[in-house]
Amino acid sequence: MTLLDVTLLTPLLGGLLLAFVGHRPLGGWINVATGVVTFCASLAMALEVFAHGPLLSSGRMFYIDAFNVYLVALTAFVGLTTSIFSRPYMRHEVERGRVTERRLRLYHSMYQCFLFSMLLALSTNNLGILWVAMEAATLTTVLLVSLYRTPESIEAAWKYFILCGVGIAQALFGTVLIYFAAENKLGGERGDTLLWTVLHGTGTGNLDPAVITLAFVFLLVGYGTKVGLVPLHNWLPDAHSEGPTPMSAVLSGLLLNVALYALVRIKMLVDASLHTNLAGNLMMGFGMLSFTVAGLFLHRQHDVKRMFSYSSIEHMGLITFGFGIGGPLATFAALLHMTVHSLTKSAIFITVGHACQLAGTQRIDQIRGLIRTQAPIGWGLLLGTVAIAGFPPFGVFISEFLLLMATMKSWPWLTIPLLVGFGVAFAGLFRHLQRMVFGEPPPGQKPVKANMLPVVVHLVLVLWLGLAIPSFLSHWFEQATLLISGASPL
Amino acid sequence: MAIAALGLYSQAIILFAALALFTSFIMLAQTRMMPLIFTFAWQGLLLALVSVLVAIVSKHPELYVSAALTFTLKVVLIPWLLYRLSVKLNMQYDAEAILHPTLMLLGGVALVIFSYYVAQSIVHLSGLATRNTIAVSIAIELLGMLLMCARKSAVAQVIGFMSMESGIFFAAVVATYGMPLIVELGVAFDILVASILFGVFFFHLRDSFGSLDVGRFNRLSEANEPMPLPEAAGAPPPEARS
């Protein structure tokens, strides 16, 4: 059994086990333990790939290279920390009577199945399986969005199901087209031509431009729906605000990343065949639009989780924009931003979850005086928002700064909307934040049992990435950048 | 290329594909639930037949698996599930009003023309006997999407969704003689799970909204202002949802 097998099988088996015992008090602990094993295995695998280069499993089913291995480790890590948060959080929800024991079992089981589908999407070598795993990610989370069974949550889940379903169906059509292009040009063993190693190895530059352009448009719409690119984003704020908070944390921190990962993989193929920047330009356009629109929408939110989900759209737009610019510097910045956004945003959602339990509502105008009532939650929310808004010395600042520099180099006039967008988003976040964190708490507001360890760990990591990127990590990003953009950023 | 110049099997493939496209149009115009479900099953049957014919012509035995999957899912399982649910939810005689039936059918025609236009740039690359039907597969997919957009009933939306999937499956069959087996199995598994989840959702929708009319969804919209705050501090919030 290889480390990859352990990484993939642990969440799957954990999910199956939790389908039977997930409602017991032990269930939360099993969830955490599964996360620990998955994370350790993924970390060991990352070190192995780091030392020996890309890893192709026997049977060529899985392929791990510099690009996806760090996302595998990140996914396992955020999955672990969120499971640590979710154990007391879900207990509290059961005690409040919002979740029955049966639904708790469903929640725990689906949590691990979701992680499995994410890891499968990241590590598979087959573009078809990538699609299957992305669809499975929707299927595993859709019942969790409607976990509370309120009319709002059911509406949100239906929207999520239908919009993501339609979107991702386009991606399947795009995948068929890629297979069509590859079958025509590459020949060879049937069934091999959907393998990434074949497409990107011998197939580089050989695919028909007309087909591959059409395929990219379908795939961009398809996976773009899951990334939450405007105007395909409608499901995202609903699903984030109505589901249980641990779900919001993993959706924002992981699912969006993985969908974007799929898109970037496809872009690598398209770029090699087209020799133009068509894919990049499309991604820049969608990215810029999402960034701007989401920044404006931040201003008119009344629900705290909704607000931060718009912030996720904004950041995913920024990352898409970065990958669209191409070039080593922008790609490096986008990869770094993917990491820091994922860490920061899941930390914020964890804090917001506690804050909502504290205040008993998600309405921004009713959350008051967090610092007075329970200082760790208040400070966590404040620091998390400061970090996500891109203040130095946090890592988000570094990646946004690098991205700005890359934009200045290749598209100087685009720095203006970018800077304005940063300003708008900043104002949007802080006009709500100040009243929630400071001020007089409403009478009778009592502290809740909160585990702030995951938040602290995430924010310290983000801070660390902002002060000094450790050499092995920068080397890692460098390798991934080399793989995606074809040149080293240094 | 004259139809008569093709072999009998190829002619049959084109005939059945055209009939499948025709069923898509019937679904667009069909307002009642039961005939809608049956038309969907007919479409599945036609597409499965095409897969079998393609398998015979191309001598690709793995296409039989694809045909079997289409038959099991689209002809037996999903229609049966939808039928059972409609009876259980007591809505088998329901009909929904279509706002602009003529406009919608004309839109469907436009989509078919568009599919032929899109397919034109890629068809010449293919040497397969079935390449004439690539445009039909794109059209079935797009018509499924139109059905989803135009209808407000959850059942019709699910049928539109499944019809889209059928179109894509069909595209894979006629453009490349099917996807690799493992991918087809994976996709079929996803569709199976999705159809079960849709069934679960029908009950949730009915329990919360009293009907399967998703046009009544209005709670989550950026256009809505939230309810005003209660005046007295400490009064219970109007819609505490934490």
CB B43 within 8 A of CB B166: yes
Q: What Cα–Cα distance (Å) separates residue A89 from each residue in A92, A94, A275? A: 5, 9, 50
**Rg, chain B, Cα only:** 21
Q: Tens digit of pLDDT for each residue in A99-134?
A: 888 899 999 999 999 999 999 999 999 999 999 999
Give pLDDT, residue A288: 95
Average pLDDT, chain A: 90
Q: Which residues does B165 contact at the CB level (< 8 Å), separation at least 6?
A: A169, A172, B144, B187, B191
Interface of B with A in 182-201 (CB under 8 A): 182-183, 186-187, 189-190, 193-194, 197-198, 200-201
Residue A299 covered by a domain: yes
Is A191's pLDDT higher than 90? no
Residue A424 covered by a domain: yes
How many independent structural domains does chain B possess? 1
Instruction: In chain A, count H helices and then E strands.
Output: 20, 2
Residue A370 covered by a domain: yes
Q: How close is the nearest chain B Cα to the Cα of A238, in Å?
A: 7
Task: Among A126, A139, A218, pick the best mutation site for testing chain B contact (most B Cβ within 10 A).
Answer: A139
- A97 reaches B (C-beta below 8 A): no
The residue range of the domain holding A435 is 291-490
Q: Tens digit of pLDDT for each residue in A364-411?
A: 888 888 888 888 999 999 999 999 998 888 999 999 999 999 999 999
Partners of A64 in beta bridges: A55
A364 vs B contacts (CB less than 8 Å): none
How many independent structural domains does chain A possess? 1
Instruction: In chain B, count H helices and then E strands.
Output: 8, 0
Partners of A124 in beta bridges: A62
Q: For residue B137, what is the nearest residue in chain A, using CA coordinates?
A: A173
The ipTM assigned to this model is 0.89
What global pTM score does this model have? Answer: 0.92
Task: Among B220, B221, B229, pick the best mutation site for testing chain A contact (most A Cβ within 10 A).
Answer: B220
Q: How close is the nearest chain B Cα to the Cα of A84, in Å?
A: 21
Closest by Cβ to A363, choosing from B154, B181, B237:
B237
CB hemisphere CA count around A474 (13 angstroms): 14
Q: Which residue has the tokens 């499975």?
A: A136
Which of A168, A178, A210, A134 lies closest to B179, judged by CA? A178
Interface of A with B in 333-392 (CB under 8 A): 356-357, 359-363, 365-366
A150 vs B contacts (CB less than 8 Å): 208, 241
A177 vs B contacts (CB less than 8 Å): 122, 175
Give pLDDT, residue B240: 41
Q: For residue B214, what is the nearest residue in chain A, using CA coordinates?
A: A155
A362 vs B contacts (CB less than 8 Å): 241-242
| CA atoms of A343 and A334, how far apart (whole Å) | 14
Residue A69 covered by a domain: no
Q: Would you call B180 and A214 a contact, using CB atoms and an 8 Å cutoff?
A: no
Is B233's pLDDT higher than 50? no
B198 vs A contacts (CB less than 8 Å): 161
- A136 reaches B (C-beta below 8 A): yes
Give pLDDT, residue B231: 41
- A12 reaches B (C-beta below 8 A): no
Q: How close is the nearest chain B Cα to the Cα of A191, in Å?
A: 5
A191 vs B contacts (CB less than 8 Å): 180-182
Partners of A126 in beta bridges: A195
For residue A323, which amino acid is it?
F
Closest by Cβ to B183, choosing from A149, A158, A194:
A194
B237 vs A contacts (CB less than 8 Å): 360-361, 363, 366
Residue A159 covered by a domain: no
Residue B147 covered by a domain: yes
Q: Tens digit of pLDDT for each residue in A63-94?
A: 998 888 989 999 999 999 999 999 988 988 88
- B172 reaches A (C-beta below 8 A): yes
Partners of A363 in beta bridges: A303
Is B112's pLDDT higher than 50? yes
Q: How close is the nearest chain A Cα to the Cα of B110, in Å?
A: 19
Task: Provide the pLDDT confidence category of residue B27 given band limits of 50, 70 and 90.
Answer: very high
The residue range of the domain holding B22 is 3-215
Interface of A with B in 435-474 (CB under 8 A): 442-444
Is B45's pLDDT higher than 90? yes
- A231 reaches B (C-beta below 8 A): no
